[in-house]
Structure 1
């Protein structure tokens, strides 16, 4: 078995290979309970409401008790993000349909951002290295399996779609937050009237017509509306489709066209996204899916524990061999000195 490099403490926690505290304050406390409590606070109050002291108080423990399990708030945030993305994606389409599958993936990611909007406030510190983030990337790559794209183009496509989804979630959240700060009122008509007074055709010749027609100031969308998100996502997928067509080998055009999920024309935006949104909701709340996911997680946990034991035994074997070699060298040196 290939030796696995030692992971940083915060990543070891997400992979379930970190050392568990030998002296726990009480059996009821665990990393899982700590993270669940932190997520509940963040869902209710945002990321600003999360602190080690606040989480400890909600669980009925001292702050120092938490540090036996999670060494810093940064570690806690990483674990919270990992829990937020612990979602079950739908199975692959057969025959493959990259556009439909990538659309589903984007909607699942969007649903996660909307369910846990505080995730958007966690700084991105590098490439995904945690299990659930890597699993999400794996599902996105699965969606592109039938395309002629190379590895780099596939990764770039995932970043493009995720970037759009993340920005759409961030914009929606901030608009609702702004509405909340005005007692839930968003005076679109008043803002439009103000802009008509301020935006003239001399300084803003291209913006003025939109302001006149009332197209510039949007209504604040409800969280379950998908019109603007649908349009933007479909246009993003249109661009990917055009690039796939360019990348198709000369003798493989039919194959790419077959799996393109509508290269010649995207489906009706709102209808397509509403249909996928319904699939997302039904699939993510299905009792059988949740039960199967729980079994999968338990099996993964057992695999991680077994792998950890193997690594410990391999390390012990290496140490023993090293000690044996050193003892043999010392013995040879003693024999040489006696001659």
Structure 2
């Protein structure tokens, strides 16, 4: 059945959320049961994928459901004693940030609303604003906490290449541990946070004294950061798709298997047909390959030498 705005003008996604909420409250969907995926909601209610996603997001914000990688979206288990309301004096910025980070790691950045965070902490929502100015300020605190937990060594290993590998791999581990981080890092409008800026400063120091111009050093530092962040954004997008659809990467590929096999047998794509399946799915391997090939190129540039120290970019 197709769902459109009702006579009162209520948006379709709220009506879908209400229908699913009713099934949970009536016991038709019990704790631990899978709720319909976004694709199932699209089929059942005749709405767009974005509308289905918003409906499920409402239930997540209300704490009725939780999305678990590999299991899809399920009705939240409500066993155990009720969460007590904590006195305001027990609150602090550190506790708020730690709780927000755990929530973002488990369910994605969209789950970290101030209302949901207050519920997790057992406090009144307005109490949070005595410690954090709002959602935007909280996101900056999350980024700072991630980088603060991964300090770079004062000197690092000997050699410019080993230093650049170290900083890139450290950033990659941060992105893999906190997939939402890629959403908060911009290469064109960077956040001016000392902990994040220290990574750029450290990278520029590793490039100092190599005969590169200031422009080359800047571009190199930005390119390396963008390389790592770009692959991390792909990983984050995959995790988001899994949360929204309840369908893992392997399951998604399985739905395309017949079509893929037919295309590969057509003879139109002989090079693609010869690729190992894992080559494009191993993001850790892709990072290592991209980093090695990039640094190989920089090594050749340095061996070639010439120019750069006067600030004129080498073409």
TM-score range, shorter chain: 0.5 to 0.7
Matches of residues 1-339 of structure 1 in structure 2 within 5 Å? 26-86=88-148, 87-93=150-156, 96-122=158-184, 124=186, 126-175=189-238, 181-182=246-247, 185-186=250-251, 191=256, 194-198=259-263, 205=268, 208-215=269-276, 218=279, 220-221=281-282, 226-248=284-306
CA gap of 1:243–1:193, structure 2 versus 1, over 3 A, is farther
Which has the larger Rg? 1
Mapped contact 1:188–1:217 kept (Cα < 8 A): no
Deviation (angstroms), 1:183 = 5.0
CA gap of 1:99–1:217, structure 2 versus 1, over 3 A, is closer
* Secondary structure of the structure 1 residue equivalent to 2:250: coil
Mapped contact 1:77–1:122 kept (Cα < 8 A): yes
For residues 145 and 113 of structure 1, the distance between their equivalents in structure 2, rounded to whole angstroms, comes to 26
CA gap of 1:176–1:126, structure 2 versus 1, over 3 A, is closer
CA gap of 1:64–1:175, structure 2 versus 1, over 3 A, is closer
CA gap of 1:226–1:71, structure 2 versus 1, over 3 A, is closer
Q: Alignment length, in residue pairs?
A: 218
Higher helix share: 1
Note the residue ranges of structure 1 that are not aligned, 5 or more in a row: 1-24, 251-339
TM-score computed with the length of structure 1 as normaliser? 0.56
* Residue of structure 1 equivalent to 2:79: none
Deviation (angstroms), 1:142 = 2.3
Alignment deviations for residues 126-182 of structure 1 (CA, whole Å, 9 cap, x no partner)? 234111111111221222133112222212111101111111222234445556732
Deviation (angstroms), 1:214 = 4.1
Note the residue ranges of structure 2 that are not aligned, 5 or more in a row: 1-86, 309-315
Mapped contact 1:211–1:217 kept (Cα < 8 A): no
* Secondary structure of the structure 2 residue equivalent to 1:70: coil
For residues 125 and 159 of structure 2, the distance between their equivalents in structure 1, rounded to whole angstroms, comes to 50
Mapped contact 1:102–1:140 kept (Cα < 8 A): yes
For residues 142 and 123 of structure 1, the distance between their equivalents in structure 2, rounded to whole angstroms, comes to 21
Alignment deviations for residues 294-322 of structure 1 (CA, whole Å, 9 cap, x no partner)? xxxxxxxxxxxxxxxxxxxxxxxxxxxxx
For residues 43 and 209 of structure 1, the distance between their equivalents in structure 2, rounded to whole angstroms, comes to 40
Deviation (angstroms), 1:245 = 3.5
For residues 190 and 28 of structure 1, the distance between their equivalents in structure 2, rounded to whole angstroms, comes to 49
* Secondary structure of the structure 1 residue equivalent to 2:232: helix
* Residue of structure 1 equivalent to 2:4: none
* Secondary structure of the structure 2 residue equivalent to 1:27: helix
TM-score computed with the length of structure 2 as normaliser? 0.60
